[in-house]
Structure formats: structure tokens, C-alpha cells
Structure 1
């Protein structure tokens, strides 16, 4: 336990804490931690850059947990939304579609699929490279491929550590908006 004054201990330790701290010192450590590293919470309003509702609160203000846009910073409404080209991977039954778009919500809304597997940042050049890479799995001249081990391993690599592909896309949008000022 930490001394309060004259080297006397401050009081009883809290439960099974990894360090013997009294409730008062636990509160001080928690306050210091949230000041130093922030505390995750719902944003007061959706992020203007990416639309996420999850944020990190610091004493100086909020930032979006998805794209790190500072809440309250004004987006230049005179500029068009940032463009982020992505290669998408969709599953429908036993096949995977590899396509590209700059507007994935609109594009994926038009394609029948069971699951969005992953996004990869890139344009038609990256899409073309993936089509060549998995050419032996291609179904005719379409953008659909047989869901074989090789392709599924590639998709797993893209989605490693990504719980939701949409959050990754939101982060890319926020980064693009921040880079243009």
C-alpha cells in the first residue's frame, strides 16, 4: 500500500487487484489513465468524417475511435467527399466475387451476396492483379471465383485483426478527409 503521510499506509487494498492499492489510490490511477490514454465511449454525435459512433474521450476533447478525426473539427463542406477506392471480396454460396468500387455501400447494395468478407485498399489495377492471381479459380469471364483454399487464405490475410470491414473502410475515409485538410 502507498503511504499517505508520515509513511503510514493509506488503508485496505481493493479486492484482488494486482497491486495493493486502496480505493482512493485506485481512483487516482484511473483518473490519470483516462487523462493519459483516454477512455472509450460513445461519441456525443456520429463522427462527421466517417459516421462512427465510438470515440475516445480525453480531457482536451473527443476523437473518433474509427478514423481518429477530432470531434468538432469542421469538414470543408465545399469539397466533395473523399474518394477511397477499394477491392471488395463477397461470398455467395460456394463462390467469391472480387470487384472494385469507390462507393462500396451503393455497389454492394446491388449485388446479391451472403457475406462481405474483406476490403483491400486499391483500384482497378489491384483488382486486375487479383483476377490474374486467382485466374485458375475464375468462373468463366466473370468476377466470380471458386472459394478454394488459396483464395480463402488471401481473404483471411486481408481480414486478420479486422472485425468489421466497414470500420476499416470508415477509417480509410477519415484518413483521406484528414489528409486533404
Structure 2
């Protein structure tokens, strides 16, 4: 905005009298002096928070990503307010998932409410994706990809059509476990 101006940019924020501040702008892209930049930064921190690592893992989902507000820390994954106590009388939240794992050139489509425990018992090379759903969704996926099924198992041949389905489920998700943690956190937050 000020690149072509020969003169140094000055702050345009009006003072009490309605006249521009006039102090030298800290950057030619923004017509704000250092004092007014500090005011904007403070306001942004209070309004939208500051992304940072949580001081400890979120008790609801286990994430270490947080947003710091002046009043409190909030989990960046599930939005659980740090310091709020989970009701210990309630069982952990249940989130059923259909999982897609790869072992060599095969893909397993299964379901569980505890993927960490279940997948720890299965040989696999990669966790490809999670899809929210129970046995009904799993059954639909088995029918959808029936022509790829290996014998009467939950293992399927890895083909472009199955890979495309998995890619759609994983779109925008770098880590399926982070998505699962978010679902757990959402379930815990809904439960209160």
C-alpha cells in the first residue's frame, strides 16, 4: 500500500481529537505505529486467542495443542476448557469408528469403539482413515466393496476405487488419530 510513497508512512489511528496519530508506522504495509500495533495484538489475543502448546495434555482427548485466552486455556482439538474436571462417575465417551488399515497390498475395513486397543492387536503397516460409524456402517462398506473382498474376511484388495473412497474420508486430515481424538473430545464436551 505504501510501497510507491516516497515519504515514510505514518499511523492513521485517530487520537481523542479525531486527528491521525502521525507517529511513524512500524511497517510500510500497515499504517500503524508501534503503540497501536501493541493494542491490536492485545485485542486479538483476547478475542481470538493465541495458539500454543497446552501446559499439560487435554484430559478429554489427550491433545497438546491449545489456544490461550486471558481467562483460560482451551484445547485446540476438542475445545475442552483446561481446568474443568471430567465427571469421574461417567464412563469414558464412546465413539464407534470404522477403521481402514493397510497391510502390504490389502486393506482391512473393521469397526471398534476402542481403536488403539483393537489396532494394537492387528498387523498393519498404516492407519489410513477413520469413519464415524458402528457395525451398520461397517456392513455397508463391506457390501459396497464386496467384489474386492478376500475370501470371507474383513480384508479387501487395494484397488483405485477403494483407495479413492479412503482418500475422500481422509481429505484434509493429516493424522487419523487427531480426528479420532477430536471426536472423543466432542463426545466428552457434549456429555458435560
Tell me which interval the TM-score lies in, with the shorter structure as reference length. Answer: over 0.9
More deviation, 32-41/5-14 = 5-14
Partner of 2:180: 169
Partner of 1:15: 27
**What's the C-alpha RMSD, in Å, of the aligned pairs?**
1.4
More deviation, 43-52/7-16 = 7-16
Query: Is the strand fraction higher in 1 or 2?
Result: 1
1:66 paired with 2:80, answer: no
Aligned pair partner of 2:48 in 4, 14, 37: 37
Could you give the per-residue CA deviations for residues 66-93 of structure 1, whole angstroms, max 9, x where no partner exists? Answer: 1111111111111111111100011112
TM-score w.r.t. the length of structure 2 is 0.88
Could you give the per-residue CA deviations for residues 119-154 of structure 1, whole angstroms, max 9, x where no partner exists? Answer: 000111100100000111111111111111111111
Residue 8 of structure 1: how far off its partner (Å):
4.7
Larger-Rg structure: 2
Residue 10 of structure 1: how far off its partner (Å):
3.6
- CA separation in 1, counterparts of 2:38 and 2:172? 32
Specify every segment of 5 or more residues in structure 1 that has no aligned partner in the other structure, as ranges. none
Specify every segment of 5 or more residues in structure 2 that has no aligned partner in the other structure, as ranges. 1-10
Taking the TM superposition and a 5 Å limit, the aligned residue runs for 1:100-179 are: 100-179=111-190
- CA separation in 1, counterparts of 2:96 and 2:109? 13
Would the aligned equivalents of 1:117 and 1:155 in 2 still touch at CA under 8 Å?
yes
